[in-house]
């Protein structure tokens, strides 16, 4: 490999790190932060649904528009400049309307860049099948890295100063043992948006150093791509495809219940029904799941060959059920709650990643991209929209009595949903041994 090619790969890798660092910085803690601002469950749902709404808009409009009208690296720079300023602004307002509008602007500009960074990566690789995995892993690493600044942002520095630690080791131990609590911890959460904004502005500048990539032309896309969404929708007439599509919706709902509630559950005091983990350790604990995701992806291929599509997907869904079972029945065991985070890798890789691979294997090549978008509609759009609309209401109205939350009752909801989805997949998802049934479907 030449030095130039190696440098190009490092740039693509760093692009992925920054891209997913931005998302990972603000998402895990926003669910507990919005109630602290006094927003109602309805207002919280509007803010949280900015991302899935942007995902739906992106799938039908902005992704293709951005891909064909601009050089990808220039669109990436523009989106992260404006979107970065918007998410940065969320750290400096406590009023609902400006917060909502800023989040909406950020999400509408950020979501298309998830596809754009993939386009830039694929356009600058000689062997995508071998190279993309290592470059895309930068995204997972970026999400993990986003958790660690808050280990120190959520430190009570006044108490550290009063303790007069001697030496680096003593200072570090004192800092990590004096987290912010209560209203001070909630107020410090504004830094999640400031950090995300600064990372976005960094990527805006870095985008201008990326390899130049020409935008696609309408002629290159071809007439068939204009009909691809319709062709992909028609494939829902195939029974096992329809079953998988609806199960994907349920699993996306369950997956987003995890993000809605886990941060709150970890940070809530034991006497109020939570785990009582210090504020500065919540995001690092949740990042264990992403570390496990990297490891699980290495064994996914061998798992699929040994157990097949259906069994692998069922195990992925049951990973959610097992995690919520531990949440519901062992809330006082911080060790078990922390350990069960490793199931995130199984939940994501064995279901969502497997769905993407399945679609690539079974759907006709001429509509494969739109078929992926059809399932992304459930994963990033409708499933998240459903969870973000229901979860704040369940947490604050249905399962809350004063300051105490009935976490067991709360977690039984996604536990039941995941169990039903796994049973439905076991009974009704019966793909043929070959792709002929899908290829021959009327479309």
For the stretch 298-317, pLDDT in tens is 888 888 889 999 999 999 99
Quick one: 345 and 368 in the same domain? yes
Where residue 17 sits, what CATH number does that domain have? 1.20.1250.20
Three-class secondary structure of residue 357 per DSSP: helix
Residues facing 179 on adjacent strands: 155
Three-state SS at 161: helix
Do 70 and 195 reside in the same domain of the chain? yes
* Domain carrying residue 210: 1-221
The residue among 162, 197, 221 that closes a domain is 221
Regarding whether 148 and 64 lie in a shared domain, the answer is: yes
Structure tokens at 176: 């990590």
Q: pLDDT band for 426, please (50, 70, 90 cuts).
A: very high
Structural domains in the chain (count): 2
Rounded Cα distance, 141 and 306, in Å: 28
Domain ends where: 221, 243, 270?
A: 221
Q: Do 303 and 393 fall into the same domain?
A: yes
| Shared domain check, 206 and 93 | yes
**Whether residue 134 is found in the same domain as residue 208:** yes
Residues 110 and 207 in one domain: yes
Name the band, by pLDDT with cuts 50, 70 and 90, for residue 7: low
Tokens representing 253 are 């709902």
Helix (H, G, I), strand (E, B) or coil at 404: strand
| Domain-ending residue, one of 174, 204, 221 | 221
Q: pLDDT tens digits for 80-135?
A: 999 999 999 999 999 999 999 999 999 999 988 887 887 788 778 777 656 767 78
In 3D, which of 105, 89, 80, 103 has the Cα closest to residue 18?
80
Torsion of CA 263, 266, 272, 278, to 10 degrees: -110
Two tokens, residue 23: 């998302």
Residues 193 and 329 in one domain: no
284 and 396 share one domain: yes
Model pTM score: 0.81
132 and 258 share a domain?
no
């Amino acid at each position: 490999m030449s030095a130039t090619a190696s440098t190009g790969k490092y740039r693509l890798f760093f692009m992925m790190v920054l891209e997913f660092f931005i998302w990972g910085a603000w998402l895990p803690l926003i669910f507990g932060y919005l109630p602290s601002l006094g927003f109602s469950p309805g207002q919280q749902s509007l803010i949280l649904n900015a991302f899935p709404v942007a995902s739906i808009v992106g799938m039908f409009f902005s992704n293709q528009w951005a891909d064909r009208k601009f050089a990808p690296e220039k669109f990436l720079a523009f989106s992260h400049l404006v979107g970065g300023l918007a998410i940065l602004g969320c750290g400096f307002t406590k009023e609902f309307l400006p917060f909502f509008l800023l989040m909406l602007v950020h999400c509408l500009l950020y979501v298309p860049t998830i596809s754009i960074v993939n386009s830039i990566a694929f356009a600058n690789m000689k062997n995508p099948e071998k190279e993309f995995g290592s470059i895309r892993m930068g995204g997972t690493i970026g999400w993990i890295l986003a958790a660690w600044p808050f280990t120190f942002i959520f430190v009570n520095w006044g108490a550290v100063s009063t303790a007069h630690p001697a030496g680096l080791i003593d200072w570090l131990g004192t800092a990590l043992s004096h987290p912010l609590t209560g209203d001070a911890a909630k107020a410090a959460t504004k830094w999640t948006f400031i950090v995300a904004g600064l990372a976005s502005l960094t990527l805006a500048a870095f985008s201008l150093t990326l390899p130049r990539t020409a935008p696609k032309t309408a002629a290159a896309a071809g007439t068939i791509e204009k009909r691809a969404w319709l062709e992909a929708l028609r494939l829902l007439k195939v029974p096992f495809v329809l079953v998988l599509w609806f199960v994907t919706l349920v699993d996306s709902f369950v997956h987003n219940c995890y993000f809605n509630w886990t941060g709150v559950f970890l940070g809530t005091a034991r006497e109020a029904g939570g785990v009582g983990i210090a504020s500065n350790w919540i995001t690092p604990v949740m990042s264990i799941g992403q570390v496990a995701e990297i490891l699980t992806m290495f064994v996914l291929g061998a798992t699929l060959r040994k157990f097949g599509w259906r069994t692998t997907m069922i195990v992925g869904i049951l990973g959610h059920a097992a995690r919520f079972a531990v949440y519901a029945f062992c809330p006082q065991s911080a060790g078990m709650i922390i350990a069960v985070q490793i199931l995130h890798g199984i939940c994501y890789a064995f279901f969502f990643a497997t769905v993407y691979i399945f679609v690539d294997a079974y759907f006709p090549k001429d509509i494969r991209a739109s078929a992926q978008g059809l399932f992304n509609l459930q994963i990033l759009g409708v499933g998240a929209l459903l969870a973000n609309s229901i979860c704040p209401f369940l947490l604050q109205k249905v399962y809350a009595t004063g300051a105490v939350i009935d976490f067991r009752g709360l977690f039984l909801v996604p536990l039941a949903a995941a169990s039903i989805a796994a049973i439905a997949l076991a009974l009704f998802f019966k793909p043929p041994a070959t792709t002929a049934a899908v290829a021959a479907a009327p479309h």
